[in-house]
Amino acid sequence: MSDIATLDPRRIRELFDLRSDVYANRGGGFDLDFYPELHRLRETGPVHAGVVGPLVGYHGEAFFQGLPFPDLPHFSVFDFATCQDVLRDGDTFGSKPTAPGPELDLSDSVMLYFDGDRHRRYRALVQSSFVPKRGAWWSERWIESTVQGLIDTFERNGRADLNVEFCAPIPLLTICGSFGIGVADALRVREAATSDGGDRALLASILMPIISERRKEPRDDIISVLVRAEVADGDGPREVLSDVDILGFALLLLAAGSGTTWKQMGITLLALLRHPRWLEAVRADRTLLRPAIEESLRWMPTDPMFTRYALRDTELGGVAIPARSVVHLCFAAANRDPARWERPDEFDPSRPPGAHLGFGGGPHICLGMHVARAEIHTAIDALLDRLPGLRLDEDAEAPQIIGMYERGPTSVPVVWDTP
């Protein structure tokens, strides 16, 4: 991908800076370590009335994830077992909001908010493109060339902020590539995906020409999978997806694909750089990289909470939950539940493997998790191969992991040995 060098680093920094306006109403600038508070809350009960942010001392605005429904009762769940129970009980807890708001506006076209059979039918349309055996397709077609192309741009410099120069563009270019969108339009896609609720007009202006081309002549990409997909609503006849359906899918995949992995990659890199013992161990034995990535997803998931809505009166952890309540599942807290993990605050890739909630769970478990894992793995593997002596840049401003509803590093400043 030779045009990688044409990406504008200033614009990347604007679009991928948690402290910028882009992330203002996702609590991007929140810079406290909320884990001690999460422990304190869990210790006094698995379920609390209220929303995670205010419960840990964040009172800023939030646009998404069930947060803006002031008239509904809100509850937050802090332990692993209760989070699992909610994720698995789709009859009691749905994903479709129970009140009007920005998410309800999207809930007719974005499968994150679909429930039951409809969710299963729509997810099945794209599932086969995201299973582990498609890993080579993602790696060889998109990820490997992006990773190597980016390292080419800074390899001789001896220092870089990997957050902006590396972590941010990899998932963006991967998901855009898989939709037939070139490097030149990738940052505009990110712009469309980050505006509140998604800028459908901007996205449509980029995607509609590709959709109509692929309707005529399908290629080996995700947009061709979508234009050929047929779905029936209820018992009705099977029909190809409308342009609106395709745009809904595209918005979700482009936003989720470009907006999460870069932060988790940064968190994993920082965790390794700050634990040189683990960095050296992974450098010497690459089979340790996979457990290090899983441990980062447990230890500090970039998406610390997601939402469900109570479909009937129920009870959780001894707390009565009225129908229509918003139930916030705090994956960050669940992933450090001492009932499940010893020394939960420690980043320890050698701990026995065990399912975590970094990618959620139940029917909505992250569709892109194998792609995300492949991106982070390919990226760190290549850095360790190509940048000898890679280490934290002690002269740069110390990086911090920040954010309330989306978490990631402020920077990943590194140096390495150059000839």
Neighbours of 208 (CB within 10 A): 13
Site for ligand HEM contains 359 (CB under 6 A): yes
Asked if residue 23 binds ligand HEM (CB under 6 A), the reply is no
* Residue of 177, 301, 399, 408 interacting with ligand HEM (CB under 6 A): 301
Q: Is 50 left (phi over 0), alpha (psi -120 to 50) or beta?
A: left
Q: Contact, 135 vs 376, CB < 8 A?
A: no
Q: Where are the beta strands (DSSP E) in 179-233?
A: 230-231
Please list the residues that pair with 93 across neighbouring strands.
Answer: 310
**Smallest gap, in angstroms, from Cβ of residue 127 to ligand HEM?**
9
The CB-of-37 to ligand HEM minimum distance in angstroms stands at: 21
Please list every residue from 316 through 345 that binds ligand HEM, using CB under 6 A: none
Q: What angle do CA 408, 1, 262 make, to 5 degrees?
A: 5
**Range 82-101, binding ligand HEM (CB under 6 A):** 95
Is 314 a binder of ligand HEM (CB under 6 A)? no
Residue nearest to ligand HEM (CB): 368
Binding of ligand HEM by 104 (CB under 6 A): no
Tokens read off for 178: 């898989």
CA dihedral 401→402→406→410, nearest 10 degrees, is -70
27: three-class secondary structure by DSSP: coil
Q: Do the strands 326-330 and 74-77 form a parallel or antiparallel pair, or are they unpaired?
A: parallel
Task: Assess 310 for contact with ligand HEM (CB under 6 A).
Answer: no
Number of Cβ within a 10 Å radius of residue 129: 18
Single out the segment in contact with ligand HEM by CB under 6 A; choices: 13-21, 140-148, 283-291, 352-360: 352-360
Q: Name the minimum Å distance from CB 31 to ligand HEM.
A: 20
CB distance 26 to 102 below 8 Å: no
Show the beta-strand stretches assigned E in 41-133.
Answer: 47-49, 74-77, 93-94
Site string for ligand HEM, 158-197 (x = CB under 6 A): -------------x---x----------------------
296 binds ligand HEM (CB under 6 A): no
Q: With contacts defined by CB under 6 A, name the span among 139-147, 195-203, 228-236, 300-308 that binds ligand HEM.
A: 300-308
Applying CB under 6 A, which residues contact ligand HEM? 95, 111-112, 123, 171, 175, 252-253, 256-257, 260-261, 264, 301-303, 306, 358-360, 364, 366-368, 371-372
